[in-house]
Amino acid sequence: MSSDAINIDPHLLDGCDQWAANGYPVFLGSELTQPDRADARFHVLPVPNESTVSYGGGTAAGPQAILAASWQLETWDGQSDPASLGIYTHAPVGAGQQGAALMTAVAEATGEIVNAGQIPVILGGEHSITAGVIDGLSRSDSAPFGVVQIDAHADLREAYEGNRYSHASVMRRIVEQQIPLMQLGVRALCQEEVRARAEFGVHYHDAHELVPAGISQIELPPDFPEHVYLTIDVDGLDPAVMPATGTPVPGGLGWYQTLGLVESISKQRRIIGFDVMEFAPIAGFHAYSFTAALLAYKVMGFLQRAEGKTSAITSA
């Protein structure tokens, strides 16, 4: 065990004995041996970075806490066994970096994974990191693609506190590149972001539409790209389920509702990768770390089951 393991309750790493790097256990290492890189369908990439955090902090500890909690998962997710496809856990990237250097590091790591025909699973870290992921995907064999975002916030500001790399601007950087965007569960946005939605043709089903009506399936527009990257800000879930995040907002998505929405996307398009961002563990509340780990694993399961049905699709 290791000297880097300073961010989370150290006892959460007790019993972990397989490490992707110092302090970073391999995903589901209680059940799996780290496979050869080339043999794994899922590539977990921890990005413990929080360079522009605006309210509550702590997301730099997110990936480590999720990896530790993943040791409590069952490999059978209730419907299938995504671990059987192989899960490789990378050493963390981007710790302590900022701005363009951070984006480049994340883009390169993501690009390597997708160009090998594998699925990146990015664990954050703050949401600004997703811009680097998108850069990597844009230059990869998987382009063109659209983005589906689960989030309490629109993240469409031109800049936030003067920073264009802010987590509050991450989706603006994406739509500026003409990448189609569908937002799910948003319930906090400013007028600038309402205008940006119109200007860039952003698709959305906001929380006030989805949550009171219990809607857990949506349809993507017919012209939405065949390849989809899924970005999950954990604050898209209701704080009753997931309070361990920097900027929680009431009225969010339920657990089964979130899973249902992801499943409905996975049945309509090919999900080429996904992230789970903005998780900020709360000391002593390991339920939330487990929730984030289970969410990541459940999404792997949806991808596994969808791939069984759409294996004829190779590229757009």
Residues that bind Mn ion (CB under 5 A): 151-153, 233, 235
Closer residue to Mn ion, CB minimum distance, 128 or 304: 128
User: 50 or 235, CB closer to Mn ion?
Assistant: 235
For the purposes of burial, counting CB atoms within 10 Å of the CB of 6, is it exposed (0-12), middle (13-18) or buried (19 or more)? exposed
In this structure, which long-range contacts are made by residues 165-168, counting pairs with CB atoms below 8 Å and at least 24 apart in sequence? Answer: 165/51, 165/52, 165/98, 165/99, 165/100, 165/102, 165/103, 165/128, 165/131, 166/52, 166/54, 166/128, 167/52, 167/53, 167/54, 167/126, 167/127, 167/128, 167/278, 168/52, 168/54
Q: Pick the closer one to Mn ion by CB: 48 or 248.
A: 248
Smaller CB separation from Mn ion, 50 or 233: 233
Query: 308 vs 28, 117, 179, 311, CA distance in Å?
Result: 23, 16, 27, 6
> Apex CA 236: angle with CA 231 and CA 237, to 5°?
120
Of 13 and 249, nearer to Mn ion (C-beta) is 249
Angle at 165 between CA 163 and CA 170, to 5 degrees: 120
- Residue 86: which H helix or E strand, with range? none
Give the bridge partners for 87, in sequence order.
42
Min separation Cβ 316 and Mn ion, Å? 28
CB of 127 to Mn ion, least distance (A): 6
Q: How far is the CB of 41 from Mn ion (least distance, A)?
A: 28
Short-list 294, 296, 290, 300, CA closest to 65:
290
Closest approach of Cβ 52 to Mn ion, in Å? 13
Least CB distance from residue 73 to Mn ion, whole Å? Answer: 25
The three-point CA angle 206-266-252 to 5° equals: 25
State the minimum distance, in angstroms, from the CB of residue 261 to Mn ion: 16
Taking the complex as a whole, the smallest distance from the CB of residue 186 to Mn ion amounts, in Å, to 9
Nearer residue to Mn ion within complex by CB, 12 or 253: 253
Question: Are 258 and 235 a contacting pair, CB within 8 Å?
Answer: no
Question: For Mn ion, which is the closer residue by CB, 152 or 202?
Answer: 152
